[in-house]
Chain A
């Protein structure tokens, strides 16, 4: 399987997109249950690894990566047992591009990538959820976290006929860990309510992530101990694999049905034997591929349901 999908992360400046990407890559270099990330670009691998080491080893201001002023596309591979399952393109950009006019080149690039994406990751800054939200606070947080703009962009994606899975990540979750997670989930569901209505057919996951619980007390010296940073992309890959599985199952059923119809009667069965064999071979190959995908999906699903809140068409799964 050599498909490469596009994943777009949306978040305002300082929401933690770059740190999340660094943490995600680092955690998945070690791997979870046999799943790993890698990159075909060895220079990129070196840069990301060295930036992560800087984050872990350095104490003080210089531990955090400098802000981003340009857009770039990063290529990664998602592997199981070091065998590539799927590639994905990650679009990294300057957070302020989210709030710029369409004449801005970075917003243009972001929109193009977004409209072709199979998964969209919304990065919401956990600092905004450190205290409970009231009605007036919701509008303020909606603007500060970029949710108002994100809603517009998701609307655009739907209008373009795409139906990507959406992963809402609450970055820097360490700063709001004192609050019950269910309460924060409820507030986010209200903020992004169009994604959680019945009939909307959105597949959504909510993942709280942190680079280390100790960072809420001391962001300059607190220990780096990432939690859940691998989940958003794992969910994205899971949803794409599910779609591929569905499509392959339909093709297998169709191949089986074609073979059956050609076998109708002794003469027809003999006359069409070449075609029947072709359909049978195709069905067999699809059955094998479905088996591979199914076992991978099962492993990924086990990992996901333990740590993320998953909704489809407004109903928690």
Chain B
């Protein structure tokens, strides 16, 4: 399969371009806005990238699938890694394909290094004309790939914008593959439990120190709201948490059977309902037992009369 590049970076003299360093030729303004929401989220807390870490991310919509890496530029190149003020640069480098895809780029930084060539080509540009210029590229990049196959994880990946699934970091490799299968899902790997990640656009995150898969509800914006105003402050309320037991991951229905966060009132109402339901069924069982007993007595009486 061939891929189109999408790259977000500052260069020596010019700030981060609103149209990216390069993007696929068929991306509309709406597609650029959609991709920007996720790409800017991957560059949250860029200072945490200094230690050499790479944030891997995959996100998809109805038409496209993007797989990318966010890291300090020095992880991708030996030159063109500081701006004119001497600040160390960071970048998002990613591959785009049409959804669905049966393959994914290999989750290794070597597979993404060639994309920094696009930054190098535009590194010395100056002036507003270049800042606004949009550079596009076709689906002609060949990259080392891995096959995407169905797995248990497919059912645990969350595609709902209002929800967030938090995975243990140990599941990173499985998530990378599973994310390609679930249309509309988004995954960012190796982040933290800080509010920016919990409230951001990603519907799945992998975090060190988490032992089991967790589901968090959050009043996130819908994709339409995100597209209309990607930079809106969506701070809402403290998230409620529930854990997804491992036994609930593989279910016959094809959907993950997750525990739903319940309001205490709803819980107490359900408790009362359950009590009455139990009492009614107990009564019915009792009356049926009684009927059975009556029938038994009748039979016995018949037998004795015989």
**Residues of A with Cβ closer than 8 Å to B?**
13-14, 43, 47, 50-51, 54, 61-62, 64-67, 69-71, 73, 94-96, 99-101, 104-106, 109, 219-220
Determine the chain A residues whose CB is within 8 A of the CB of B49 once the complex forms: 66
Determine the chain B residues whose CB is within 8 A of the CB of A104 once the complex forms: 18
**Residues of B with Cβ closer than 8 Å to A?**
8, 10, 14-16, 18, 40, 43-47, 49-50, 72, 82-90, 128, 131-132, 194-195, 229-231, 233
CB <8 Å contact, A64 and B131: no
Determine the chain B residues whose CB is within 8 A of the CB of A13 once the complex forms: 14-15
Cβ-neighbour of B16 out of A14, A62, A69, A220 (below 8 A): A69
Q: How far is the CB of B120 from chain A (nearest CB, A)?
A: 18
Determine the chain A residues whose CB is within 8 A of the CB of B229 once the complex forms: 105
A279 to B194, CA, bound (A): 50
Closest to A98 in B: B15
CB <8 Å contact, B231 and A106: yes
- With A61-B88, A64-B85, A99-B128 in contact, is A70–B47 under 8 Å at CB? no
CB <8 Å contact, A67 and B86: no
Q: How far is the CB of A113 from chain B (nearest CB, A)?
A: 11
| 20 A-B interface contacts by CB (under 8 A) | A13-B14, A14-B83, A14-B84, A61-B82, A62-B50, A64-B86, A64-B87, A64-B88, A65-B87, A66-B90, A67-B15, A69-B8, A69-B10, A69-B40, A70-B43, A94-B16, A105-B230, A105-B231, A106-B18, A109-B231
CB <8 Å contact, B89 and A99: no
- Centre residue among B45, B86, B128, B229 by max chain A CB count within 10 A: B86
CB <8 Å contact, A61 and B231: no
- With A69-B40, A105-B231 in contact, is A47–B16 under 8 Å at CB? no
Determine the chain B residues whose CB is within 8 A of the CB of A14 once the complex forms: 83-85, 87
Closest to B17 in A: A96
CB <8 Å contact, B8 and A61: no
CB <8 Å contact, A67 and B50: no
CB <8 Å contact, A66 and B47: yes
Closest to B82 in A: A61
CB <8 Å contact, A69 and B47: no
Give me the 8 closest cross-chain CB pairs, A-B, nearest first: A96-B15, A13-B15, A66-B46, A69-B16, A14-B85, A105-B231, A64-B87, A70-B40
Task: Given A13-B14, A66-B89, A100-B131, output 12 extra A-B contacts at Cβ < 8 Å.
Answer: A14-B84, A64-B88, A66-B46, A66-B49, A66-B88, A67-B89, A69-B16, A95-B15, A99-B128, A99-B131, A106-B231, A109-B231
Q: How far is the CB of A71 from chain B (nearest CB, A)?
A: 5
CB <8 Å contact, B231 and A219: no
Closest to B229 in A: A105
Determine the chain B residues whose CB is within 8 A of the CB of A54 once the complex forms: 47
Q: How far is the CB of A221 from chain B (nearest CB, A)?
A: 12
A43 to B195, CA, bound (A): 9
Closest to B88 in A: A61
Closest to A101 in B: B132
A109 to B72, CA, bound (A): 27
Determine the chain A residues whose CB is within 8 A of the CB of B87 once the complex forms: 14, 61, 64-67
- With A67-B15, A99-B131 in contact, is A61–B86 under 8 Å at CB? yes
Determine the chain A residues whose CB is within 8 A of the CB of B231 once the complex forms: 70-71, 105-106, 109
Determine the chain A residues whose CB is within 8 A of the CB of B82 once the complex forms: 61
Q: How far is the CB of A118 from chain B (nearest CB, A)?
A: 19
A62 to B49, CA, bound (A): 11
Closest to A72 in B: B233
A54 to B51, CA, bound (A): 12
Cβ-neighbour of A220 out of B14, B15, B43, B86 (below 8 A): B86
Q: How far is the CB of A26 from chain B (nearest CB, A)?
A: 15
- With A14-B83, A106-B231, A220-B86 in contact, is A67–B10 under 8 Å at CB? yes
A66 to B45, CA, bound (A): 9
A109 to B231, CA, bound (A): 8
CB <8 Å contact, B14 and A67: no
A220 to B10, CA, bound (A): 21
CB <8 Å contact, B16 and A67: yes
Closest to A15 in B: B85
Q: How far is the CB of B54 from chain A (nearest CB, A)?
A: 15
